[in-house]
Amino acid sequence: MGKFAETVAASRRTFVLRLLVTLGATANESVITSATVQGGFGQATRDDIRKDLDLLKARGCTTEEWFDDAVRVVAITERGEDAAYGRVEVAGVERSPWRA
């Protein structure tokens, strides 16, 4: 992935974390995908969002639960909330201050 593409991906992951904060901590993958595309990341594919969700989980920013092996519901963790507000640095996530 090129530098510009990685910068966009890091910004998109921050958007996902802030979306989860705004929505009250949880959302399913479809809602996250739709909101991310509508939120200014129109070039993002469902596969991009899935990779982002996997990275956020691996970095301890989110947890997930599957229903009927078909619906992924993502929840933000305390670390993820700190990353959303720019209070901690997380590799692959843009760090910038934010007030909800």
**pLDDT tens digit string along 30-45?**
999 999 999 999 989 9
Bridge partners of 72, per DSSP, are: 66
What interhelical angle do 46-58 and 3-22 show, nearest 10? 80
Residue 97 lies in a domain: no
> Strands 62-67 and 26-28: what pairing?
unpaired
Residue 27 lies in a domain: yes
Residue 98 lies in a domain: no
Residue 89 lies in a domain: no
Rounded to the nearest angstrom, the gap between the alpha carbon of residue 71 and the centroid of all alpha carbons in its chain is 16
Cα gap 84→30, rounded to integer Å: 20
Residue 57 lies in a domain: yes
**pLDDT tens digit string along 1-16?**
799 999 999 999 999 9
Q: What is the pTM of this model?
A: 0.94
Residue 94 lies in a domain: no
Classify residue 75 by burial, with Cβ atoms within 10 Å: 0-12, 13-18, 19+.
middle
Residue 37 lies in a domain: yes
Question: What is the extent of the structural domain holding 61?
Answer: 3-84
- Give me the number of domains the chain comprises: 1
Residue 75 lies in a domain: yes
